[in-house]
Structure 1
Amino acid sequence: MSEILNENLKEYKISRIPYIHLLGRNVSNALKNEKPVSLFWGASGLEIKAKSSEVWALVETDYSVNEVWACVWINGRIISRFMLEKGKKWICLCRGFSEKTVNTICFMRDSQAMCDDLRQICLVHSFALAKNGEFLPIEKKKPMIEFVGDSITSGEGLVGSIKEEEWISTWISPSKTYAVQAANALNADFSLISQCGWGVVTGWNNNRNTIIPPYYEQVCGLCSGENQKRLGSIEKFDFSICQNDFVFVNLGTNDSGAFNSPPWIENGVEYKMRKNLDGSYFEEDAIKISYGVKDFLKIIRKNNPKARICWIWGMLEIPELSKYLEKGVSMYIAESKDKKVDTMVLQSMSLEVKDEDKGSRFHPGPLTHKNAAKKIFEYCKKFHHT
């Protein structure tokens, strides 16, 4: 890393780059508003195609607890992953190429949005090429896919030893998830909306506030620090920007976990997803999840009128909750007559036998994500033909 731009390089502000692709949700006109681009969500990023011997990016980050990680892709493969330092610094993405070499380069945020860190930001101000370098047109990718989920979609457990147990951003890597793998296999554009521990109607710890649906229509509303809001996190998201062809929802694992967690107490009131004496889910609580699924599907459909929607689960087994997820989707279909909504059960992490197939923090590892990506690839191929 360097704080001083090499004299052999030429800086280009983001709004001055003729060809650049934005990955992930963002504010309207993010590439043209003369401001640095904020990377809000995991696996959001900026992609360029350039003829240059080297490429740099001017990146600014801040945080109070959870540092931001990033990774660099060159021609469809990750070549580096690193922790970003606080402050505004030039980062060398690649160098040493011949002046005639053309590379597609993506600078990607490799940490989820951190709702509890009100200072955390990740901004890209500029790119720099060799003085005789040039930007080239980027091929448009299709279809457009949105993935909505929790820690599995955030990539928790995809970095580190299987013995790791601490919850830190080091062990979270959205770039390695089933979602990114499936999108790349389809040559698709994509976005991720995910948060560890969050659910449909409750978080893993019975906190009724840590749920995704209320934030779905915002850019990144779960990040509510003053600086985050100034960057546009709570703005209403313009869905016309992306026009999703597919929306995959991988939520429910944490709603299931709440039945096994202690009560959440807020303002003297106790909240708890209850079990019967025989260990089964208390119907009055479990059915809330079905209604939550139904209501969330309404919100998704309102904003994605042409998309095929698929509710997925199973990478972490939740057998008791499955029927309530199915019921919620069936209720929505019966009420709306929507014929473009499906469910799909993915292979679970119980198939992971070898250590290299397993993840850290008791989460699905590389094998389970690979299996999920393959199934999603096959699903999308049935409905989208290039």
Structure 2
Amino acid sequence: MLAAALPLLLALISPADRRIAYVGRFDMRDPAAPACQWSASEVRLRVKGKEVRATVEEKGHDGWQVVIDGKPASVLTPKEGTDTYTIDLGVDAVHEVRLVKRTEAFIGTTTFHGFEVPDGRLLPASKSKRRIEFVGDSITCGFGNEGPNQNEHFKPETENAFMSYASIAARAVDADVTILAWSGRKMWPNNTVPEIYDRILPTQEEPVFDFKAPAPQAVVINLATNDFGGENPEETGWTSAYEAFIRRVWDHYPKALIYVAIGSMMSDNYPPGHMALSTLRGYLSRMVERINDPRLHLIEFDVQKIEEDGVGADWHPNIRTHEKMAARLTEALKKDLKW
């Protein structure tokens, strides 16, 4: 349970405290005020006590999934400006508390200014030794996955990156997840994710990520839905840009397995007459064959079954479809990485 808290004379724990773990990309130029924008950015705490207070500055309309001892508990929707919020942990015991950004970068920027553990104490939080990075578009962000049907348009309240296939699969293999995704963006030639891939805050050119953190063992690239949303892109130009991005990722993470994905919104029925799914499958299959590297894998997610499973906002996958996508990816990760 969450509530805005009245100010009390408690010792404020700095966000720079080494007992706090940050998963994903945070602007740490001011260690006492880490800021984030990317989906699924996470602050992880381990505490002994029955409540935690977080002082948060919000610029936008972000939602944060509160996860207590591995279970989603409530949603924190900070108001514009700076305020302190109380997270009720229930019994006085040792708890793991995860704050996970549900919403994507264009929704807002959240900055953390401190934490309090009344009548308790902060303990060291830990990260997983397994790491997965995802590069994608609205599907990977969890766009509209809590929307009731295709007739509802996007709103921040129904976007939940914690329940995107990326986060679900990562949890299934006990891996930490980094999501670098933005709705509507493509692989090539314009409005791309690669052009913002190096950014810590994707709405800003600076600061640039230094890639000094431990490398992910796997990178999933799920970009094509918007590329094929109108006319099919020209094969040589599109796959050359895709290959260049793959090699750019390997420059940073030379040991990483890379999965190039065919997403669940691809179809041979839309756009009419374009055979987009079959065309994409051919492009990626030929590209993977040409690169001929054991670190590169093609993964195809089933087309979403709207009549059977329903659909989210603006025809995007709902949580049921995300769960099916996660199951497919989890199977591949366990097989290929022996996880």
Q: Which residue of 358, 364, 372 maps to 2:317?
A: 364
Q: Shift in Å at residue 11 of structure 1?
A: 2.0
Q: Shift in Å at residue 88 of structure 1?
A: 0.3
Q: Which residue of 176, 180, 198 maps to 1:217?
A: 198
Q: Which residue of structure 2 lines up, in the alignment, with residue 199 of structure 1?
A: 186
Q: Which residue of structure 2 lines up, in the alignment, with residue 180 of structure 1?
A: 167
- The answer to whether the Cα contact below 8 Å between 1:289 and 1:328 also exists between their aligned partners in 2 is no
Summarize the Cα distance change of 1:382–1:163 in structure 2 as closer, same or farther, 3 Å threshold.
closer
Q: Which residue of structure 1 lines up, in the alignment, with residue 116 of structure 2?
A: 128
Q: Which residue of structure 2 lines up, in the alignment, with residue 147 of structure 1?
A: 134
SS in structure 2 opposite 1:306? coil
* 1:299-347 C-alpha deviation (Å, 9 max, x unpaired): 111111111111111311233322112233333x14xxx3211111012
Residue 5 of structure 1 aligns with an amino acid whose one-letter code is P
- The answer to whether the Cα contact below 8 Å between 1:45 and 1:109 also exists between their aligned partners in 2 is yes
Residue 23 of structure 1 aligns with an amino acid whose one-letter code is V
Q: Which residue of structure 2 lines up, in the alignment, with residue 269 of structure 1?
A: none
**Any unmatched runs of 5+ in structure 1?**
203-207, 225-232, 260-280
In structure 2, C-alpha distance between the alignment counterparts of 1:242 and 1:144, rounded to whole Å: 8
Residue 70 of structure 2 aligns with an amino acid whose one-letter code is G
Residue 155 of structure 1 aligns with an amino acid whose one-letter code is G
Summarize the Cα distance change of 1:56–1:164 in structure 2 as closer, same or farther, 3 Å threshold.
farther
Q: Shift in Å at residue 23 of structure 1?
A: 1.3
In structure 2, C-alpha distance between the alignment counterparts of 1:71 and 1:136, rounded to whole Å: 21
- The answer to whether the Cα contact below 8 Å between 2:153 and 2:313 also exists between their aligned partners in 1 is no
* 1:154-204 C-alpha deviation (Å, 9 max, x unpaired): 1012122115432332332111101100111111111000000111004xx
- The answer to whether the Cα contact below 8 Å between 1:293 and 1:329 also exists between their aligned partners in 2 is no
Give the TM-score normalised by structure 1. Answer: 0.79
- The answer to whether the Cα contact below 8 Å between 1:352 and 1:367 also exists between their aligned partners in 2 is no
Residue 116 of structure 2 aligns with an amino acid whose one-letter code is A
* 1:124-145 C-alpha deviation (Å, 9 max, x unpaired): 11111013x1222334312111
What does 1:44-63 correspond to in 2, within 5 Å? 44-63=41-60
Q: Which residue of structure 2 lines up, in the alignment, with residue 105 of structure 1?
A: 97
Q: Which residue of structure 1 lines up, in the alignment, with residue 298 of structure 2?
A: 343
SS in structure 1 opposite 2:127? coil
Q: Which residue of structure 2 lines up, in the alignment, with residue 4 of structure 1?
A: 6
Q: Which residue of structure 2 lines up, in the alignment, with residue 275 of structure 1?
A: none
Q: Which residue of structure 2 lines up, in the alignment, with residue 263 of structure 1?
A: none
Instruction: Compare 138-147 and 51-60 and name the one that shifted more.
Output: 138-147
Residue 243 of structure 1 aligns with an amino acid whose one-letter code is A
Q: Shift in Å at residue 354 of structure 1?
A: 4.3
Q: Shift in Å at residue 236 of structure 1?
A: 2.2
Residue 12 of structure 2 aligns with an amino acid whose one-letter code is E
Q: Which residue of structure 2 lines up, in the alignment, with residue 267 of structure 1?
A: none
Q: Shift in Å at residue 383 of structure 1?
A: 3.3
Q: What is the percentage of aligned positions where both structures have the same residue?
A: 25
- The answer to whether the Cα contact below 8 Å between 1:18 and 1:135 also exists between their aligned partners in 2 is no
- The answer to whether the Cα contact below 8 Å between 2:134 and 2:178 also exists between their aligned partners in 1 is yes
Task: Please say which structure displays the higher CA radius of gyration.
Answer: 1
Give the TM-score normalised by structure 2. Answer: 0.90
- The answer to whether the Cα contact below 8 Å between 2:220 and 2:258 also exists between their aligned partners in 1 is yes
* 1:76-111 C-alpha deviation (Å, 9 max, x unpaired): 12111243210101111224422xx11100112111
Residue 121 of structure 1 aligns with an amino acid whose one-letter code is T
**Any unmatched runs of 5+ in structure 2?**
267-276
Summarize the Cα distance change of 1:163–1:372 in structure 2 as closer, same or farther, 3 Å threshold.
closer
Q: Shift in Å at residue 257 of structure 1?
A: 0.3
Residue 304 of structure 2 aligns with an amino acid whose one-letter code is M
In structure 1, C-alpha distance between the alignment counterparts of 2:59 and 2:30, rounded to whole Å: 22
Aligned length: 327
Q: RMSD of the alignment, in Å? A: 2.1
- The answer to whether the Cα contact below 8 Å between 2:131 and 2:217 also exists between their aligned partners in 1 is yes
Q: Which residue of structure 1 lines up, in the alignment, with residue 216 of structure 2?
A: 244
SS in structure 2 opposite 1:159? coil
Summarize the Cα distance change of 1:129–1:78 in structure 2 as closer, same or farther, 3 Å threshold.
same
In structure 1, C-alpha distance between the alignment counterparts of 2:97 and 2:316, rounded to whole Å: 30
Q: Which residue of structure 2 lines up, in the alignment, with residue 171 of structure 1?
A: 158
Q: Which residue of 62, 70, 74 maps to 1:80?
A: 74
